[in-house]
Chains A and B, each alone.
Chain A
Amino acid sequence: MEKFDKLTSVAAPLPLINVDTDMIIPARFLKTIKRTGLGADLFSTLRFNEDGTDRENFVLNKPAYKDAEILIAGENFGCGSSREHAPWALLDYGIKCIIAPSFADIFYNNSSKNGILLIQLPQEEVDKLMEDAERGANSTISIDLEAQEITGPDGGVIKFDVDAFKKHCLLNGLDDIGLTLQKVDKIKEFEARKKIAQPW
């Protein structure tokens, strides 16, 4: 996966709570056997009319936010299914960071494994960023993962927490499987013990 260290972009406000994975990418688009190409159908129902034309009032269809790489959203973002197609669709569209008061567990894991940074902040701070983001093209914010800092459009700095291991993997673009395979001896020892203790 790609490394994530710093990012500067317009932030798009999506002030909805419980944005579920069916909203991010409906099941009918999960028939692909590839990871790429899903960005075209990201937020399909919110983004497009039934005839396929853009819904003008959807945030990513507004010219100021077309190139946004950061989303500001409501609580419990990513709830629902385990489909990794959700972070794949976000990434394929160009979203690299989401800031919200809370995230669903599986979505959180899936995102970090694809190089998307999810930042959880207290509601008041998200509200402030949401307000800033409403300012359209003037709502550029900067994220520094190493320093764990968000710099708002007016220069104010917000600190954020991130799991140390996930930070390490994101900063270095590390593949979990490669890391785990370095521990193959421990896995084999575990299997040998288990075979004796639980022979069924």
Chain B
Amino acid sequence: MNEATTLYDKLWNSHIVDEQEDGTCLIYIDRHLVHEVTSPQAFEGLRKNGRGVHRTDLTLAVADHNVPTTNRSGVIKDKESRIQIEALEKNCFDFGVELYSMNDIRQGICHVVGPEQGFTLPGTTLVCGDSHTATHGAFGSMSFGIGTSEVEHVLATQTLIQQKCRNMRVTVNGNLSRGITAKDLILAVIGKIGTAGGTGAAIEFSGDAFKSLTMEGRMTVCNMTIEAGARVGLFAPDETTFEYLKGRPKSPKGGAWELAVNYWQTLKTDPGAKFDEEVAMDASEISPQVTWGTSPEDVTTIDGQVPNPADIEDENRRNKMERSLEYMGLEAGMLMKEIKINTAFIGSCTNSRIEDIRAAADVVKGRKVANGVQALVVPGSGLIKELAEQEGLDQIFIEAGFEWREAGCSMCLAMNADKLKPGARAASTSNRNFEGRQGPGGRTHLVSPAMAAAAAITGHLTDVRDLD
């Protein structure tokens, strides 16, 4: 008799090449995304050992972390960034890997580009030297971030030595209230389970609140799975998934498409399958979320206030909270809505897709950015930028006083010229509010695109529902 299995079990089982006695498995990798920051040392390792890339047809490279988002007609001014991108170009040329470099319209953030091109498909295993690879789980792909040694391992063998994660399910039922987005959902989940709550787990998202999300929304949710400590986030593929993928450049075509969809429809958790851990929430309880501290778990609602360390019993947690508030320049009891910002960043692999840009544009339309606020929109890819321009969204932002930029990771991790200055405070649609993440001394409040747009307009953290 076959045991009932989870979606994650199915994906894992169908990719085992070899299993050792202790349960460690050699797992086949179907798709590998490569970028300039975590790959140079891997290619160097291949060269040193006289090895090639095992399957160039399953490997796709994109320049994203370091690229400037302003004028790209000249050379990159930052010498180290330039060297890293040139190294990627040379490595891809030498080893025969397809590359979307800086001036390719298809260039963008690797976790935006993979799905957009149909490179990401249900039922696959997909890896990249970047923790936000969890994003691709939105398609029912077992996707996870790896380090550079593992990048080299995949390039050389198309496999990885892995141990299976435990199964965890997060169920949110009910309808999302007006103004509540995928970003608010996942921030609320992280607030509930904590930044280590998913350590060692693959999380499947289920329930109508998740199922009702678009592919863009599902990607936002899976993207931030890693901020709950889990390497893998998963949605069972459904009609929404197939609709998104149909006709993409690298999606299956013709008869192969029918075959693929038939297979993808089998990719779901069996009734009665056991999860090691279950978490449930009610969608109607979720309000717009905003972070106050320096970990994504430091989150509250926009109606809330900065918490008081004196209320925390555990010494380690109390110390961490005191340290966070000092870094953030906040006092216990301050209302979140009264916190003034001077930067708004709409972008990153979490929230730079067309739906995110449309949601922000809806808020911005006919309004002006507050005095003293720098507001940026950095689309996730050249193709998204082009589509947004066809829809006239760029003009809405520019007329309001936003800067409309080229695609890349930008101020999410401040590896290029887009940085917060020390002490600057941002409403940001990115994924991490760690100390110094958006620039040394910079202060980050994580929010949804509509909320970041609202903050740009008023100059302080704002409930977007109050702007209507």
For chain A, the count of residues having a C-beta within 8 Å of the partner chain is 54
A31 in contact with B437 given A176-B161, A198-B260 (CB within 8 Å): no
Q: In whole angstroms, how far apart are the Cα atoms of A191 and B54 in the complex?
A: 11
Stretch in A22-30, A134-142, A150-158 touching the partner: A22-30
Could you say which residues of chain A place their CB within 8 Å of the CB of B123?
198
8 contacts between A and B (CB under 8 A): A22-B437, A31-B81, A34-B44, A84-B147, A104-B199, A110-B147, A187-B158, A199-B259
Name the residue among A164, A176, A186, A194 with the largest chain B CB count within 10 angstroms.
A176
Q: In whole angstroms, how far apart are the Cα atoms of A183 and B320 in the complex?
A: 46
Who on chain A is nearest to B258 by CB? A200
- Tell me which residues from 196 to 213 in chain B have a Cβ below 8 Å from any Cβ of chain A: 196, 199-200
Is the Cβ of A200 less than 8 Å from the Cβ of B257? Answer: yes
10 residue pairs, one from A and one from B, having the closest CB atoms: A200-B252, A31-B80, A110-B147, A84-B147, A33-B40, A82-B145, A113-B149, A84-B148, A76-B196, A82-B131
For chain B, the count of residues having a C-beta within 8 Å of the partner chain is 73
Stretch in B20-28, B282-290, B396-404 touching the partner: B20-28
Is the Cβ of A165 less than 8 Å from the Cβ of B152? Answer: no
Is the Cβ of B17 less than 8 Å from the Cβ of A81? Answer: no
Q: In whole angstroms, how far apart are the Cα atoms of A104 and B226 in the complex?
A: 10
Could you say which residues of chain B place their CB within 8 Å of the CB of A198?
123, 259-260, 263
Which of B38, B84, B149, B319 makes the CB contact (< 8 A) with A114? B149
- Tell me which residues from 80 to 102 in chain B have a Cβ below 8 Å from any Cβ of chain A: 80-81, 83-84, 87
Is there a chain A Cβ closer than 8 Å to B436's Cβ? yes
- Tell me which residues from 43 to 58 in chain B have a Cβ below 8 Å from any Cβ of chain A: 44-45, 49, 51, 54
Is there a chain B Cβ closer than 8 Å to A75's Cβ? yes
Is the Cβ of A113 less than 8 Å from the Cβ of B150? Answer: yes
A27 in contact with B22 given A18-B320, A81-B130, A82-B129 (CB within 8 Å): no
A-side residues, CB < 8 A to B, are 15-18, 20, 22-23, 26-28, 30-35, 45, 50, 74-76, 79-84, 87, 102, 104-106, 109-110, 113-114, 163-165, 176-177, 179-181, 183-184, 186-187, 190-191, 194, 198-200
Is the Cβ of A110 less than 8 Å from the Cβ of B149? Answer: yes
Who on chain A is nearest to B298 by CB? A18
Q: In whole angstroms, how far apart are the Cα atoms of A183 and B257 in the complex?
A: 32
- Chain A: minimal CB distance from B347 (Å): 15
Is the Cβ of B18 less than 8 Å from the Cβ of A106? Answer: no
Is the Cβ of B415 less than 8 Å from the Cβ of A79? Answer: no
- Chain A: minimal CB distance from B77 (Å): 13
- Tell me which residues from 136 to 165 in chain B have a Cβ below 8 Å from any Cβ of chain A: 144-150, 152-153, 156-159, 161, 163
Is the Cβ of B17 less than 8 Å from the Cβ of A105? Answer: no
Which of B24, B44, B434 makes the CB contact (< 8 A) with A165? B24
Is the Cβ of B199 less than 8 Å from the Cβ of A180? Answer: no
Is the Cβ of B317 less than 8 Å from the Cβ of A17? Answer: yes
Is the Cβ of B17 less than 8 Å from the Cβ of A186? Answer: yes
Could you say which residues of chain B place their CB within 8 Å of the CB of A84?
38, 41, 129, 147-149
Is the Cβ of A106 less than 8 Å from the Cβ of B434? Answer: no
Could you say which residues of chain B place their CB within 8 Å of the CB of A33?
40-41, 44, 83-84, 87
Is there a chain A Cβ closer than 8 Å to B32's Cβ? no
Q: In whole angstroms, how far apart are the Cα atoms of A196 and B84 in the complex?
A: 39
Name the residue among A84, A102, A194 with the largest chain B CB count within 10 angstroms.
A84
Is the Cβ of A177 less than 8 Å from the Cβ of B435? Answer: no
Is the Cβ of B434 less than 8 Å from the Cβ of A23? Answer: yes
Is there a chain A Cβ closer than 8 Å to B413's Cβ? yes
- Chain B: minimal CB distance from A101 (Å): 10
- Chain B: minimal CB distance from A147 (Å): 19
A113 in contact with B147 given A163-B22, A181-B156 (CB within 8 Å): yes
Is the Cβ of B17 less than 8 Å from the Cβ of A187? Answer: yes
Could you say which residues of chain A place their CB within 8 Å of the CB of B260?
198, 200
Who on chain A is nearest to B163 by CB? A163
Could you say which residues of chain A place their CB within 8 Å of the CB of B54?
187
Is the Cβ of B26 less than 8 Å from the Cβ of A183? Answer: yes
